[in-house]
Amino acid sequence: MLYIGSHVGFNKNTQILGSVLEACSYGANTFMFYTGAPQNTMRNPIDDKLVNDAISKMKEVGIDFSKVVVHAPYIINLCNEEKFDFSVGFLRSEVERVHKLGVKYMVLHPGSHVGLGVDKGIENIISGLNLVLKGDTDVVILLETMAGKGSEVGSTLEEIKRIIDGVEDKSHIGVCLDTCHLNDAGYDMSDFDKYLDYFDDVIGIEKIGCIHINDSKNELNSHKDRHENIGFGTIGFNNLINIIYNERLKEIPRILETPYVDKEYPPYKYEIEMIRSKIFDENLLDKIRKQS
């Protein structure tokens, strides 16, 4: 079975039930969401009734809850020493929220070292993760592979490996691949099996818990991080289809984070249909504009 979905919203009134309904409207069987605005710390308490209703709905439509993913807020930066206590505290409270929601996987950007250097950055990320992961929740933090924009840590597998090596609680740490970021970081996505072999040598592919499926607006090794709709970027449709249908990652959720068309129309229903059909539609974006 192919587990495919997209980033969806989460608002204070409908919470995870609203996220499930949005995923359903795209024909998805998994999804990813933030538990509140990613750029601030305002969070509403988790409503147990909405969680229960969401679980019933997922059972009804065949969404496997164990494949659902949360994205940690991007204001968290474990590298930054001035923000360190804040980041650790907020990440810890997010882990608790995610645990209360019953979600297992939370994707985290490792952080940006902003002048401290990679070594110090990695050291701080490890200290932060060891403070957050206390072995008292089921939540697995997935470190996202980054594009290497600015001073981002985690754009090479070796950096991700160094972080994992330093984390004491190895059963609660993993990796989230992002195809746009990998391309922009210099990993050629036209031979994904070769990349997986390399990943398996360095870290072990059993550590991959999620894969973000995005095309890229920029060339290989551009260190830019600008996502493009499926088939409309430099990675291309056939390469993305090969990644999506790769048998070695069969059990892993595939999450689209492609841009809204004209910043207005969500493309996910159409992209998921196109991915299921395995046939590229060069008029897809126009079709979305007309049907929205």
Interface residues with Fe ion (CB under 5 A)?
A: 144, 178, 212
Establish if 144 lies at the interface with Zn ion (CB under 5 A).
no
Is residue 122 within 8 Å of residue 151, measured between CB atoms?
Answer: no
# binding residues, Zn ion (CB under 5 A)? 1
Establish if 22 lies at the interface with Zn ion (CB under 5 A).
no
Nearer to Fe ion, 17 or 23 (CB): 23
Q: Residue 23 corresponds to which amino acid?
A: A
Q: How far is the CB of 285 from Fe ion (least distance, A)?
A: 21
Q: How far is the CB of 116 from Zn ion (least distance, A)?
A: 22
Helix-strand-coil percent breakdown of the chain, rounded to 5? Answer: 45, 15, 40
Candidate residues 225, 233, 254, 270; the one interacting with Zn ion per rule CB under 5 A:
225
Q: Who contacts 206 (Cβ-Cβ below 8 Å, separation ≥6)?
A: none
Nearer to Fe ion, 8 or 17 (CB): 8
104 binds, among Fe ion, Zn ion, none (CB under 5 to 8 A by kind): none
What backbone phi and psi angles, to 5 degrees, belong to 273? -60, -45
CB < 8 Å & 24+ apart, contacts of 152-155: 152/109, 152/110, 152/111, 152/112, 153/79, 153/110, 153/111, 153/112, 153/113, 153/118, 153/121, 153/122, 153/125, 154/109, 154/110, 154/111, 155/181, 155/185, 155/223
Q: How far is the CB of 257 from Zn ion (least distance, A)?
A: 7
Nearer to Zn ion, 39 or 283 (CB): 39
Q: How far is the CB of 144 from Fe ion (least distance, A)?
A: 5
225 binds, among Fe ion, Zn ion, none (CB under 5 to 8 A by kind): Zn ion
Q: How far is the CB of 62 from Zn ion (least distance, A)?
A: 29
